[in-house]
Amino acid sequence: MPPARRRRDGHGHPGRNRRPAGPRRTGRPEDLVRRTAFDVIRAVETRDAYANLLLPARLRDRGLSGRDAALATELTYGTLRGRGTYDAVLALCSDRELRRIDPPLLDVLRLGAHQILATRIPPHAAVGTAVDLARSVAGPGQAKFANAVLRKVAGRDLDAWLAIVVPQGGGEAARLSVAYSHPSWIVSALRDALGPDRGEIEALLAADNERPRVTLVARPGRATPGELREAGAEPASYSPYAAVLPDGDPAAIAAVREGRAAVQDEASQLVALALAAAPLEGRDARWADLCAGPGGKAGLLSALATERDARLLAADLQPHRAALVARAVDDRAAVIAADGTVPAWRPGTFDRLLLDVPCTGLGALRRRPESRWRRGPEAVAELGPLQRGLLRHALDAVRPGGVVAYVTCSPHLAETRVVVDDVLRGRDDVDRLDAPAVLAGVAPGLTGVGEGPYAQFWPHRHGTDAMFLALLRRKDAIG
């Protein structure tokens, strides 16, 4: 029996934790709310756009706010999250193979399926608005096809469809892939990363389909969590600099508008804090962030460095990302566009160094649901040489006694402990520090990140991205 049928509240299924009512009637010939969601979904599909970056701009440009903005957001993210499940349903309701349906029309059908199966919008209204959208983007003939398909979708609720479309053979990964709308290869990779706790895989997949909380960071010396709470935020769970915004626009908070605070996942804050707290002997004046764009961790590190009279060098390969970093750091930090595999600095320059390497992003599927459909398993192998090269050069860039934090926003074993183990194999000048122990000093209430030496955050345990941390210290020259 599919897992969703055992959860009558729909917990963990794409979009079912957020069930807004439909928009107010505006009298406009085209529903701007749904058109906005559709346009963002199409941009994700055709231009590799990121919904979390594009949608806010579209909402502002089109004057959507309040209830309409909330619905457009739900329809966009819910459709992107639920695509795998909705495609399985649509395949049974269409007399055409999905690959033969024009891509814009297919996205309309996915959007309609989400409205029908995962919101409180009445089925007849969900079908009608989707058919209107199909007519607008694909013409009258395709609108008739959309009407026929979506009426079939509306014939059952989501639990009933899951009982039909979730495969009972083919193994656990195939079953969970449809039930929780994740590609099979990601299900397998996440299950492997859980290791002995692989029984938590359904809870993890369900957490990936929850809308994440908006977590803020008060940059030390520039803002305080108390200031954020006075502006409407709530206490966070772990980071001493974090606060959670239950709703509303972060930019409405003065500290965020002024760059003294920012949106930053709590795990992202904690890995930066762990680097700053890692035991170090001797000089502690030169810090670095070598893959710094777009600047969240660099902003926090630069504030911490300034408090200790240290200085941060932040580097990113892409000039436009380096420009974003420059907006996030304070005046004492230096920002350059540079390639971490072709160092612009001498060996042994830094005391502390953060290396948040390019990765598949499987740890951020809550915030970037489209990422699960964007890459295949080959991306892991393609990124591996870059990740290893960056780590080798990062270790050479710190002095004896210096510390490197190797970080990924992915729990995939081939991007995390395998990379670290491969780089350190045959190298006797690096020690692995106990990352969970260091984190315990930063966030005393934090548990469930592993037994060491590495630390792994999880959405279903911590309400954060699935971020990995290894703390690596160069041995002293004598050692």
Torsion of CA 442, 444, 450, 451, to 10 degrees: 100
Structure tokens at 292: 């710094």
In three-state secondary structure terms, 263 is strand
What DSSP string runs through 365-387? Answer: TTT-TTHHHH--THHHHHHHHHH
| Of 162, 159, 161, 166, the residue nearest 150 (C-alpha) | 161
145 Cβ partners below 8 Å, 6+ apart? 96, 105, 134
b (16+ CB within 10 A) / e for 231-250: bebeebebbebbbbbeeeeb
In three-state secondary structure terms, 272 is helix
CB 315 within 8 A of CB 323: no
Active site residues: 409
b (16+ CB within 10 A) / e for 426-464: eeeeeeebebbebbbebbeebeebbeebbbbbbbbbbbb
78 Cβ partners below 8 Å, 6+ apart? 14, 15, 18, 114, 118, 119
Rounded to 5 degrees, φ, ψ at 406 are -90, 120
User: Looking at the DSSP assignment, which residues form a beta bridge with residue 245?
Assistant: 214
Residue 413: its H or E element: none
Residue 84: its H or E element: helix 66-93
d(CA 201, CA 197): 8
d(CA 477, CA 475): 6
What DSSP string runs through 323-357? Answer: HHHHHHS-TT-EEEE--TTS-SS-TT-EEEEEEE-
Q: Is 258 exposed, middle or buried (0-12, 13-18, 19+ CB in 10 A)?
A: exposed
| Of 95, 137, 133, the residue nearest 114 (C-alpha) | 133
